[in-house]
Structure 1
Amino acid sequence: MVASQYPGNQQPQSSQAGHFQPQQQHFMPPPPPYEEQQLMDMGDLSALKLPDSRGNTVPDFSRVGYREGHVRIPFVPVQMVVEPSLDPFSDDTARIQAAIDYVATLPLQCIGEDGARVRGAVLLKAGTYRVAGALIINASGVVLRGEGQDDQGTIVVATGAIQRDFILVNGMLTSDMGTVKEQRTKARTKEMMPVNGYRGSKKPVTWTKEGIFIPTGTTHLPVQCTNGYNVGDAIVIERPGTDEWINDIGMNKLPPRPGNNAPSTQWTAKTYTFRFERRIIAIDQATSTFILDIPTVMCLDPKYPPARIYELIHKFNTISDVGVENLLLISETDTRHPEDENHGWYAVVVDNTVHGWVADVTTKHFVSGIFAAVWSRYITVQDCSVLYPVSKPSEGGRRYQYNLSGQKGLVKRCFTNNARHDFLTLGRVCGPNVFVDSTGVNANNDTGPHERWAMGILYDNITCQTINVRQRSWMGSGQGWAGVFHVVYNCTTNGNNNCFQDPPGASNWILGFKGGLTQRPAFEAPCSRCRSHNVPVQPRSLYWAQLVARMGGDIQRVKSSVGAEARMRYPPRC
């Protein structure tokens, strides 16, 4: 990896007394392993299905990320150029937002592969920009690009003492929400993270067949009736939450927090209905079965009510083919207070977006890093670094560096340091999502599902301090079972207290894991089977091998389209 991937720490100073960037030791992490190293050795993928006693198998994770992960991220032509201000203390929020809004008015044009349509890129020329509010991309086909993520590139500084998320890619926001005035009143409120949903259609609703166990890892979905559905239709598989299921997994009996005896939040059926987005790629009329593009990542047990299936139409606006790339983002902090939190929170948040990317972005001193939120779909985060967070180091909700909490997200070839959680998901995440070939150092807490029943996540060749997929019980006000049907594959940790546990009726798959296993788990539960402990398994990477297999074994196509050799290429700076 080139040296500019992880630049030094020469920061622009602020005019506000005591509010400037700390000078820190130059840090150059080792490069993460690249998929080319052993990509040729795909191994026997059928041997890695590893069915459990109920027939649940390791899912195929190969359709995550931008345009399902096999398509090169397009280089979008520049339509607007913004130069650094001559006044080193001016606020550039309005100038940059005006350029984004202008490009958002241009017509969409076909570019790239698989139906991508773009309007254009806003290019921030090399230099320093000061943004006192937030920047918002809310239209399809718009890219915000800089001229490098090193100290000689494009540096965008989140100035001022406003606790807010900084770059917001969100089809449900309006651009005026990024102004300083709006951020002072709305930052980090529900208005800045609006909730989407699904609206009705003319297609009939159907249900899964009663009396049939549908395991995790299958693409075959037996339904009561296929009438009205066609190949290519996008659907929602809605698995209802029930009191019986919550009782069976013990999440209505969570104990209070010891010490202060604070009550835990018991799980309720209403808040544990899961909705998975899939596409029908074939229909077997003889057996009344939908064949799905992406396997199930949560089993459907006939003991509980059948899943409801309906056409996927988002209720509110989503955008596509949007990106943030080639930038150095810095949050201004008060150096008199090393745990200052009155500044930039997440550096980049992507939500209400289908098909987008964050590439070649370095962030420094934000409370947290890059967040693909609940209503994000098919987002790729690649070749990014989240460095030197400034916040209280150990309290909840902080230092969440790479957070995939939507569906079909992909983090690859990324790095972070000093995190609380390097690579994580939040609660009730309806996967699949993938973290691959990435590294975290000096974290004070774990990588893994952070809370409440995230489903179908792959951690593949991740190096970090600790990985847990476990029962969390009363922790975090009653998070309970954190993750299910996860795969931890050829990951390496420095710690000796890694914990992997299986919820009732479910499994996690731990393969080739290198690191110590705790002998004293925080909460008693069945241990996940750890296969080939401390000995790597073949193929080197499950994700890359599955992707190559899906592409018909065309290794060179995968390498040249989305492998390390296909990293984004930018024109030289003038």
Structure 2
Amino acid sequence: MKNRFISLCFSLLVALSLTAQDFPRSDKRGNLIPDYSYCGYKASNEQIPWVDVKAFVPHIQGDATAYIQAAIDYVSSLPMDASGFRGAVQLDRGQFQIDGGLQISASGVVLRGSGSGEDGTELLGAGQDRTTLIRVAGRLDRMWTPKQAASKAVKVGDMFICVPNANKYQVDQTIMISRWATKEWIDQMDMNDFGGESSYIGWKVGDEKRPSDVEVHWERQILAISGDTLFLDAPLTCAMTTDEAFVQVQTWPGRIAQSAVENMRLTSTYDTENPKDENHRWMAIVLDNGEDLWVRRVQFRHFAGSAVFVTDHVRRVTVEDCQSFAPVSEIGGSRRYTFHTMGGQCLFQRLYAEQGFHDFGTGRLAAGPNAFVQCQADWSHHMSGAIDAWATGLLFDGFNGEGVLLSFGNRGQDNMGAGWTAANSMMWNCSAAMLANPTPPTANNWAYGAWGQMQGRFESADSFVKPQSLFYAQLAARNAATKDEVRKLMPVDTQSASNPPIDKAQRFVAAARRPAMKLVDWIDSLQVKEPLALVAQSKENTQWMKHYSTKQSKKKTSLMTLNEGVLTKDNAILSGRSQGVVWWNGSLKARYLANSSRPHITRWAPGLTGTGFTDDLNEMSDMMKAKDHLITNHHYGL
């Protein structure tokens, strides 16, 4: 284990030597450019595996929600193999109507279609409901030991943290490292308020009862322990003093791992007479309470919110070779966040999106590293990049945006006081209408190889730098088995000349006569050249159907009735307390949630479920029952 740590440290140094000639190794405070390559499924140390099919789902007419969910539940009940997988559910070709939502809530379960093209598998989210089409989520039941302050300061790029009594920790434990926001730091950042009467959305300091608005959390595994030092499995992406850095051991029994969605088309119905309709599906796929998950080769159409939304309870995710077309919604906040992460160590690669609002971006306090590699946004209505407060260790590598702003900037009051959005983040060989890369106080941002109008700090502007991909250069330095992944990158011609010799000019002219390859077509070509293997229906893979009945339960559920001011059920008088709701001001900040959130019925926070967000009404009913609350006295939604 100790040798593994030493090799990881060495790989970072090698990676830095492979990049642009003037690539800085560290700043005057000793902060490194992070190794962004620790993003993705298994931190990109392993390729996404093939999982054997254990349930085949033939096509049916009508609502297939319960039908497909039964197959998922069957595979979820199977034992895991030595690699941590239970099996895959393969859907037949054709269109499956989904009136409800599908959920994967067990580890090692893959939902696989028979292709994302016209002749493949389509899940059609029908009706006027906003229910998430596919939710991959475990239980939020994590626990921590009390916080312990770090004994030494942390620098950007460190893969270790020092603590007193390190002998109390164990190798392979998962720890949470938190960065508290001090008053001095917020003052230095000048984020107390944003002018006018905006102090209420300025960044706030935490205390023992309420967290800070800008408290960042990294999950890391302990690889080795030496003296007072815990060696980690991925770099830390923000500098911390001993007053800011804290460590806790984390346990999370209900978290799932190694589950996925792949090889299908997801579509939402909508009111075709209303091009801004919002009474239909918002979120196609939501990943929550999980690690080492993936989404690949999925095409999305007409969703109002996100194609893939990753919450802050998720780490080590790969989303690749996906395309999003023709979203339907109003143009504004919380809509069209096409590929969005609030989590850590997430890799989004070879993705295409059009007509989004924030097509590619990180949410509030996204604890890096996170990487967007070779992504393209066309006809976007706003920006990609860091969308909300203080995302650290963000990489945009080979991004191309037609008419798009790519920004790591200070958004001020936007998003309820986002302020500075990115720190210790990198733009590498990116092209956009405008690129904004300012340097925040107390941190760095970098940009190498940029095309477009520029604001902030840039090196090698209006030119390409080598290698084509920083992510894959860093990964190759610590993991030689990356050739299969590198060849999946769309080739980019980085040659240019203002006065080329005749032979080179002739090559340029010949190339100009051929239509340039577009990323959206390159993604299609990969799926044609390397299709995922499919199985035929068999007796063995339809065993799950014995456990499924198409007969609907005829059991009637008795309802409460109100008769002359008295609530009754089954002719018995009901008694209990009532609970109210609070008007929601739209905030999703941790401080607000800890202090003011209560159960609600009409609150809508796209992609986020739980008290303070979009309440699960079944969970809310169970909570009311446990507290002897009979009714919720609900004001109309605001």
Would you say same fold, with TM above 0.5? yes
CA distance, structure 1, for counterparts of residue 481 and residue 76 of structure 2: 37
Q: Is the 8 A contact 1:134 1:166 kept in 2?
A: yes
Q: How does 1:357-376 map to 2 (within 5 A)?
A: 357-367=294-304, 368-376=306-314
C-alpha change, 1:246 and 1:262, in structure 2 (3 Å) is closer
TM-score, normalized by length of structure 2?
Answer: 0.71
CA distance, structure 2, for counterparts of residue 161 and residue 76 of structure 1: 34
Cα deviation, 1:331-374, whole Å, max 9, x if unaligned, reads 00101100001111111011101111101000000112111211
Matched AA of 2:77? T
CA distance, structure 2, for counterparts of residue 321 and residue 568 of structure 1: 22
TM-score, normalized by length of structure 1?
Answer: 0.78
C-alpha change, 1:150 and 1:554, in structure 2 (3 Å) is closer
For the pair 1:502 / 2:502, whether they are aligned, the reply is: no
Matched AA of 1:73? I
Q: How does 1:113-262 map to 2 (within 5 A)?
A: 116-172=83-139, 197-200=142-145, 206-209=148-151, 212-256=152-196
Secondary structure of the structure 2 residue equivalent to 1:545: helix
Residue in 2 that maps onto 1:17? none
Matched AA of 1:542? L
Residue in 2 that maps onto 1:440? 377
User: Which of 277, 286, 310 is 1:340 aligned to?
Assistant: 277
Matched AA of 1:472? R
Shift of 1:568: 6.5
Shift of 1:58: 0.8
Aligned Cα root-mean-square deviation (Å): 2.5
Shift of 1:280: 2.4
Q: Is the 8 A contact 1:72 1:561 kept in 2?
A: no
For the pair 1:378 / 2:316, whether they are aligned, the reply is: yes
Q: Is the 8 A contact 2:353 2:377 kept in 1?
A: yes
Q: How does 1:147-546 map to 2 (within 5 A)?
A: 147-172=114-139, 197-200=142-145, 206-209=148-151, 212-256=152-196, 265-269=201-205, 270=211, 271-285=213-227, 288-302=228-242, 305-314=243-252, 317-367=254-304, 368-393=306-331, 395-464=332-401, 465-493=404-432, 495=433, 497-518=434-455, 527=456, 529-546=457-474
Shift of 1:279: 2.0
Cα deviation, 1:12-44, whole Å, max 9, x if unaligned, reads xxxxxxxxxxxxxxxxxxxxxxxxxxxx99835
CA distance, structure 2, for counterparts of residue 389 and residue 362 of structure 1: 12
C-alpha change, 1:568 and 1:42, in structure 2 (3 Å) is farther
Bigger Rg over Cα = 2
Q: Is the 8 A contact 2:263 2:297 kept in 1?
A: yes
Cα deviation, 1:269-323, whole Å, max 9, x if unaligned, reads 22322221112223332xx222222111010135xx1422122212x61101101
Aligned length: 478
Q: Is the 8 A contact 1:255 1:264 kept in 2?
A: no
Residue in 2 that maps onto 1:104? 76
CA distance, structure 1, for counterparts of residue 198 and residue 150 of structure 2: 40
Secondary structure of the structure 2 residue equivalent to 1:447: strand
Cα deviation, 1:492-539, whole Å, max 9, x if unaligned, reads 11x1x4322222111111111221124xxxxxxxx4x21111111122
Matched AA of 1:265? I
Q: Is the 8 A contact 1:103 1:119 kept in 2?
A: yes
CA distance, structure 2, for counterparts of residue 41 and residue 504 of structure 1: 24
% identical equivalent positions: 33
Matched AA of 2:425? H
Q: Is the 8 A contact 1:461 1:492 kept in 2?
A: yes
User: Which of 14, 36, 44 is 1:69 aligned to?
Assistant: 44
Residue in 1 that maps onto 2:32? 57
Matched AA of 2:533? P
Residue in 2 that maps onto 1:191? none
Unaligned runs of 5+ in 2: 1-14, 206-210, 491-522, 537-638
C-alpha change, 1:359 and 1:558, in structure 2 (3 Å) is closer
C-alpha change, 1:150 and 1:557, in structure 2 (3 Å) is closer
Shift of 1:78: 1.2
Q: Is the 8 A contact 2:294 2:317 kept in 1?
A: yes
Shift of 1:143: 0.9
Shift of 1:47: 6.0
Secondary structure of the structure 2 residue equivalent to 1:136: strand
C-alpha change, 1:473 and 1:219, in structure 2 (3 Å) is same
Residue in 1 that maps onto 2:508? none
User: Deviation above 4 Å: which 4+ runs of structure 1?
Assistant: 44-47, 261-264, 557-568
Matched AA of 1:382? E
Secondary structure of the structure 2 residue equivalent to 1:73: coil
Residue in 2 that maps onto 1:18? none
